Every structure is written in structure tokens, then in C-alpha cells.
Structure 1
């Protein structure tokens, strides 16, 4: 038995940072990782996919060169170089994390699969470890939907997409949400024919209907076929390719393609940790149940990142680390419910989101003020020749509290941050209307949108 002050399972976004804080406080820490340091974000998520998005954007802009008075000639994709660039980004990031951990005094890094033996004991292969505190940071993985024929055809997920060696002739994306739409636009710009199949009535169902409609318009303008309301989805082989059968209100009943990407959600990596031996409770979907401090049903065991169901993003995983460290090391009481929902959809142009959607705000029963402005009326967007999308902001009419914002447009993922900061400061929306922003930027229109808000029924 090897004894430590703390054991961390998983070297994703929260684990290594917590290890750094704990070892700096003089504690002995074991960090266990069964695959790649850096987790999903570094290896198969944010960093490699956004590197590919950047390549796709470069191709798209090159094709539009004539719009800017630039003669480019025929634009060709060197997919090998695209993927090599992606690999350099992720491998450099992974090595940076590995080097950081290797130089961390007080840390024992162990490769292998961790399983509980008891509330204070973990087994990794033949080794048994014990600690008074255990932190789970085990992440999640793609869901394979239980559609007829899914086991009969080859299919891709967000991990295997990173290993493609050629551009698919016709990529069928099953799932019209964030991951699926990013890959759909990316590969359309690389030269694939792309069809998106979504079971629901519209894309990105958690967004407001006007946002969903605008995103669909953006994608269809680039030649991406969208099939919503796709009931009775089934898979089958078709010659050298694959097929997807759908029952939609419009369109053909079968879609034939060369590749299928399943982008229908994710699940936590909690089913093979031996949580029952530790008495750690999970919900019906397998997410570890945690309180406001991210402590599980067992005192001394905490869960951070995707596996706790309290956020599915790199930034929420890192914030989980900050909450745990603040409570355990800084005597600073912090809780998950203080976190304001924020995220982005990285199609081009991107969608930046903060706080409530309009639908959520209306359900709250508050009297609302809502302001909108199309990106076609934003000077910076006109100058860049990127005028698709719109801004929408929402506030409480009585308290002047900012409730939420959606910025679908060039720079929207960055511009929304200024609204988010005012929300965290607890200041009224008039704080923004009185601000002076730099011209010409996208952000300079944010005070105008807030100033033009109107009451809604």
C-alpha cells in the first residue's frame, strides 16, 4: 500500500492544476491517467478541432479572395498538412502538460486504470494506493446511439475524426448540435459534401429558435444539407459506402454517403471505476452526484469536470478545480451555483452565449427588456465582409440585471465576454450603456444594443 495525502484520477483540465496547488501546499499527491495527459480538450476536443477550424476558415477566406480584391486562383486542400498542423498543436500541448507534471515536486504520476477498493483506496493494476482525499476527473466519451444497424456500418466519433487520412467524399453527420455542426462546416470547407441529420425539429435545440434558424441559414448558404425531424433513423451498408434511413417531413427517405459521424451526445467515464465499492452515488445517467463544493456522497471524495454533470466544457472543468482549491486550500467559500452559464459554438461565424436564453428568461416570469441588432449593421462586420448573424441581449426590466446574451457573428465568442464580466460584477446593464468602447470593433455595438432594448410581453 502506497499512502498519499491526495489521489487524483484523470489528467484532464482540472486534475493537473489541482495537483499543482496541492503539492505547492506541501501535500503528497498521486495523479493517475490511463491514456493521454490533457484529457479531451488537448487531445481530441478543443485544441485539435479548433486548429482544424482555423484551416477550414483559411480555405473559406481564400475562396472569397476576389471579394476583397485578392486574386488567389484555385484553392486546394492539402489534408495531410491540415492534419499534421492539428497534430502539432495537440502534441505540443500534451508535452507541455507532461513536462509540467514531471517537474512537479511531491507528485507521483502513475499510468493505468484506477478503480476503487474502498472509500480511501484505489487500485491501479497490481498497485494499491490510499489517501484521505480522492478527486475524480475522469471526463466523458461519445455516446453510440441505439439506432437500428449502427453496429453494421463503420462510423466515426470525435476521437476517430482526428485520425482521418483523407477528406470524406460525403460526410453524413448524425446529430445537429455543437460538435456535429462544427465538423459539418469544417469538412464542407475542406471539400466534402455534407448532410446533417437531426432527430429534433431544429438544430441546437437548447438555443432560441431565432438562433437555431440563423445557424441553419449560415450552414445552408455553404451547401450543407440539413435534415431535421428525422425520425426512425437507421443505418445500412450501400456498396462501398454507408447509408442513413430517415423519416422526415421532407426530403428523400435514404441518404447515401462515404462516412458517418455520430455526434449525438456524450456520457461520463464512470461505469468502470468501482464507484459502488466506495459508496459514491451517481444519477441515472451515470454522472457523479456532487454538492455545491463538488464533494460526492462520500466525504473526502470529490468529482470535477465532465463526470459530475455540472458542466461539459473545458472552462467549467477548470472552474471546478478553482472551486475545490478555494474551499480546501484558501478558506474561500465558493460554490458551483455562483457560476454563470457561458459557452460558444465554433462554426463560422461563432455563437457566444452567456446566461439565460430568451426562452429561459421568459419562463422565469420576469418582466423583460430585449435588444437585438443584425451583424449587417455592425461596422466592423461590414469592413471584414462577414455580416451574417445577430446580437441579442436580455435584461430584467425592474432590477436592470443582465440576464443573458447571444452573439452570433464575427468575434461573437470574444465580444460576449465583456457582457459576462458585468454579470459577474453584479452591475446593472446601464454600466455597459455608459461605457466607451474602441472603434471599430464588434464590442462597441454592445452598449447600443443594451440602450435600444424594448419591453416584451
Structure 2
């Protein structure tokens, strides 16, 4: 049973005060309360934060609907007559919000009050290094956890701010399918939504000022770009947008005339209105300044998740929560290790990555294996896709990229291998079930040993042993 926060001289006293009820904040609050800490949890908007309400959950629900539509178009290769799906966009959005509703009780006020947390639904503001005010209540705590997340960034394009546009916060409130969706930004969010709306029936144009997915391996990005183009997603890389007006996006060398505009050009940490200066907490436009243990410049305060200025993924916020619980509740040494950081772009095919890319590891060795050599991939009509491994000269696994069906499900094995500093022989020695797509990893690993295993020295040794073995 957790201890309850209590009032003393009108001030609510707690062990932990968590600001923000998104993925990271909820993880800290739930863990701390169940371990016996007195926890105050403050959320100014919706429990569950961006991930549940306007991010991961609704976007993946929309992608599932889009996948179902595309399946009707793509049966021809299996002898199943393809048909153009009849999309009821109202029902698609009902599915999206139904999924949110099904998950919401897990993140609800009722559940967290049941765990022993005191919930305050109001904006929070530091009034000093050890005190926060929210909803007219002053809160003093031994430790503060800032988990306020991020919001869509608005690029400084002339006319954009004054032109009606969508972000992830408003996209899932659409009631009609866009005739022509222009997506500003060729990152994971932009490409996922571009493919989803194209499959649901919209014309889609992606405008990227540089190159799409610049942090991923170029071989994998090329596969994805070809797949999107084959479905009719128009991608304009190096797009110089000079102005945005209702119904018109002017480029340096052309024009796009969309019915709707989705801005997916990066995200910015939410730190405004928190009174960080009053708490002695340093921050920049990229987020709150933290050390490797996620402690801010105020030794009583930590920042986790998107607002901490690092990688912006829900699973990273969860990992941050684990570090902070060890530090804030038990005083144990703990810090973040990003060596095996995984990320997934949930397009079709999925693009998953963990660890270093080839560009980040000078002097590395690489192994590349196409899905065309995988029996399960052939059975399922997967003609494109690959795995790329980045290794040290001695075979230490440094990074992995997979593009293909279920890539996000397969990448965790490689994250574990990187985190545990395994060599490629460890994977080459694993027996994978047959036939599975995951076998492509073992096949790639085996290629590391091909030059030695089938080289002249091995042939000489085998010939020699065969002369003497009974």
C-alpha cells in the first residue's frame, strides 16, 4: 500500500510530483505508487498524453484500417481477384477512436487513484526549486519528474501559420477523407500517414525539404521509397516551399494544390508555462537540459521523455522512467544507454533499426541479405526487403536495419545482441524455426563466416581429415 500525499500548512506534501500523464509520467507514477511512495500526478489535458490520444495508438489503428483496404487491392498475385475497396471513412475513424477508448481505462484517473496517486488536472508551474502550483494547490515534493512531452513543430514557412492545417493533434478528428493530402515532412510520421491516407483513397503528396528518413540506412530507404511510389504516393525531395496559402503550396519550381495540409516536420519539447526559471532548471529550444541520469540542473528534479531533448519515442520515455525510479526512489546509480536504441517506421514494409548505422561506425564491416532469399518471404509474395548488419572488424554487432514485413517485431533480437555486446557468431549459432522471416538474420550472420568456412584452408583441412577418419 502506497503512502498518500498529505496536507501540511495548506501545502500538499509528496515524495514524488510527476508533471505530465503521458507514457513516461504514467510509468513513473504507477511504479512509484505501487512501491510505496506518496505520488502527486499532474496533467493539464488528457490522461495518456500524446501517445494514447493523438500519436502512437490512433496512428497505428489508422494504419491497420489502411492495411485492410490495401489487402483487397493486392490479392492478384495469389490468384485472388483484386477489388477496389469501398472505404467508409466515418467507420474508419470510429475504429480509431474505439481503439483509444479500449486502452483509455488503463491510463485513467480512476486507475491511478486506485493505485494511490493524487491526481490534479490542471496546468503546473514551479514557484521555486522545491514547490509547484497546480489548480490553486501548492505541492512540495522530495523529487519532481517533468514528463510534459512534445508537440508538432511548425516550420517558419510564409503563410503556413495563417493557413488551416492539420497536425497529429487534429488529424484524427477528420470527418471526411481528404481529396488531396499534402504532407509537409518526410519523417516517420509523415510517411506513415501518407501511405495510410493513400490506401484509404486520398491523393497524397509528400514535401520534404531534404531527403526522407535521413537517419536510416539508404538501402532500406530506397526500398521504402519505391514501395510508396508504386502505391501512388508522390514524394518531392528537396522541396523548397516558398509560401503556403489555402488550397495552394508554392514551391521554388512548381505548385501543389491540396485540399488538406498535414504538418509533420519534427517536434518541439513542451516547456512553456512551467516556470522552469523559478526552479533553477536550465532548458533550450530542444528541451530541458539533463545529465546521463536524467537529472536537471535542479538536483531535486528529473526530466524524461520527449521534453528531455533526446530521442522522441514512447519506448524511450518508458526506459527513462525506469532510470528515474531507480535514482529517485532507491538512490541507485542508473543512467540511459542509447547504444541499442531501436526505432520503427510503421509503413508497409516496416523499416526497423537498432544501434549504429554504417555512416556512424567508421571502419565497420557490413552484411546485407535480401528477403528474396528467404523461403517464407517467397511464400508470402515479398519480393523486396533486406537486413543490413553493421559489425566491428572483429564481428561485434554494432547495428541492424531491417525493412520488410514484421521488421518491428524482429528488431528486438538485434537490440539485445547490441546491448549485450554479442558477436555475430552468437546469432549464427541460434536455431530459428522454419519457415520464418526472422531466419533472414541467421542467414546474414552466417555470411560473416562464408569466406573462412568455404575457403582454401578449410578445403585443405577437410581433405586431410577425410584421409584419416575411419
Q: Which interval holds the TM-score relative to the shorter structure? A: over 0.9
Match in the other structure for 1:117: 127
Structure-2 separation of matches of 1:125 and 1:331: 31
Residue in structure 1 matched with residue 189 of structure 2 by the alignment: 179
Mark the runs of 5 or more structure 2 residues left unpaired by the alignment.
Answer: 1-10, 451-470
- Tell me whether 1:101 sits opposite 2:112 in the alignment: yes
Deviates most, 58-67 or 271-280: 58-67
Query: How far is the alpha carbon of 1:389 from its aligned partner?
Result: 2.0
Matched, 1:389 2:389: no
Q: C-alpha separation between the residues in 2 aligned to 1:454 and 1:257?
A: 53
CA distance in 1, matches of 2:241, 2:349: 32
Q: Which position in structure 2 is the counterpart of 1:433?
A: 428
Comparing 91-100 with 303-312, which one deviates more in the overlay? 91-100
The whole-number CA distance in structure 1 between the counterparts of 2:330 and 2:347 is: 39
- Contact kept in structure 1, 2:149 and 2:270, CA below 8 Å: yes
Secondary structure at 2:257 match in 1:
strand
Select the residue among 213, 217, 220 that pairs with 1:211.
220
- Per-residue deviation at 1:39? 1.2
Change in Cα spacing, 1:233 to 1:357, as seen in structure 2 (3 Å) is farther
Is the 1:182–1:347 Cα contact (8 Å) retained in structure 2? yes
- Tell me how far 1:97 sits from its aligned partner: 1.4
1:377 is the counterpart of 2:373: yes
Aligned-pair CA distance for 1:261: 0.6
CA distance in 2, matches of 1:152, 1:25: 49
1:247 equivalent in structure 2: 252
Q: Could you list the per-position Cα deviations for residues 349-402 of structure 1 after superposition, in whole angstroms to 9, with x for gaps in the alignment? A: 10010001111113xxx3x2211122222222221123322211110013x210
What is the CA distance between 1:307 and its match in structure 2? 0.3
| Secondary structure, counterpart of 1:277 in structure 2 | helix
Deviations 1:24-83 (A, max 9, x none): 332211100011111111111111110110110111111112322334644111111111
CA distance in 2, matches of 1:309, 1:347: 25
Equivalent position of 2:461 in the other structure: none
State the partner residue of 1:445: 440
User: Paired residues, what number?
Assistant: 439
2:91 to 59, 68, 81: 81
Matches of 1:37 and 1:386 in 2, distance apart?
40
Aligned mates of 2:286, 2:278 — CA distance in 1: 15
Task: Please give the alpha-carbon distance, in whole angstroms, between the structure 1 residues aligned to 2:15 and 2:408.
Answer: 40
SS in 1 for 2:166: coil
Measure the CA separation in 2 of the matches of 1:343 and 1:228.
Answer: 22
> In the superposition, relative to structure 1, how do residues 356 and 234 fare at CA in structure 2: closer, same or farther (>3 Å)?
same
Number of the residue aligned with 1:266: 267
In 1, the alpha carbon distance for the partners of 2:430 and 2:449 equals 20
Q: Are the equivalent residues in 1 in contact too, given 2:217–2:357 (CA < 8 A)?
A: yes
1:92 alignment partner in structure 2:
102
Quick check: 2:424–2:448 contact (8 Å CA) kept in 1? no
RMSD (Å) for aligned C-alpha atoms: 1.6
Could you give the per-residue CA deviations for residues 204-257 of structure 1, whole angstroms, max 9, x where no partner exists?
1122322332221111011111111112432123xxxx1111125xxxx00111
- 1:450 match: secondary structure: helix
Alignment deviations for residues 66-106 of structure 1 (CA, whole Å, 9 cap, x no partner): 3223346441111111111110111221222114213112x
Task: Choose 78-87 or 202-211, whichever is displaced more.
Answer: 202-211
Alpha-carbon distance, 1:20 to partner: 2.1
3-state DSSP of counterpart to 1:436: coil
Partner in structure 1 of residue 155 of structure 2: 145
1:392-431 superposed matches below 5 A: 392-398=388-394, 400-431=395-426
Residues 339 and 356 in structure 2, CA contact (< 8 A), matched pair in contact too: no
TM-score normalised by structure 2 residue count: 0.90
Distance 1:452 1:425 in 2: 21
The structure-2 alpha-carbon separation of the partners of 1:396 and 1:13, relative to structure 1 and needing over 3 Å to count, comes to: same
| C-alpha distance in 1 between matches for 2:341 and 2:84 | 43
Distance 2:140 2:331 in 1: 25
CA distance in 2, matches of 1:74, 1:185: 16
Q: Find the residue that maps to 1:207 and give its secondary structure.
A: coil
State whether residues 198 and 228 of structure 1, in contact with CA within 8 Å, keep that contact through their aligned partners in structure 2. yes
Indicate the SS of the match to 2:206.
strand
**Structure 1 residues 338 and 184, CA gap change in structure 2 (3 angstroms):** closer
In structure 1, what is the equivalent of residue 326 of structure 2?
326
Are the equivalent residues in 2 in contact too, given 1:37–1:97 (CA < 8 A)? yes
- Aligned to 2:92, what secondary structure does the other structure show? helix
Any conservation in 1 of the 2:339–2:355 contact (CA below 8 Å)? no
In the alignment, what sits opposite 1:348? 348
Name the larger-Rg structure: 2
The 8 Å contact of residues 369 and 453 in structure 1, kept in 2 or not, is answered as no
Q: 1:350 to 1:357 in 2, by over 3 A?
A: same
Q: How far is the alpha carbon of 1:286 from its aligned partner? A: 4.2
SS of residue matched to 2:15: strand
| Deviation digits for residues 387-438 of structure 1 (CA, Å, limit 9, x no counterpart) | 322211110013x210101101111111111111122222211100111101
**1:338 Cα deviation (Å)?**
5.4
Q: How does 1:122-137 map to 2 (within 5 A)?
A: 122-137=132-147
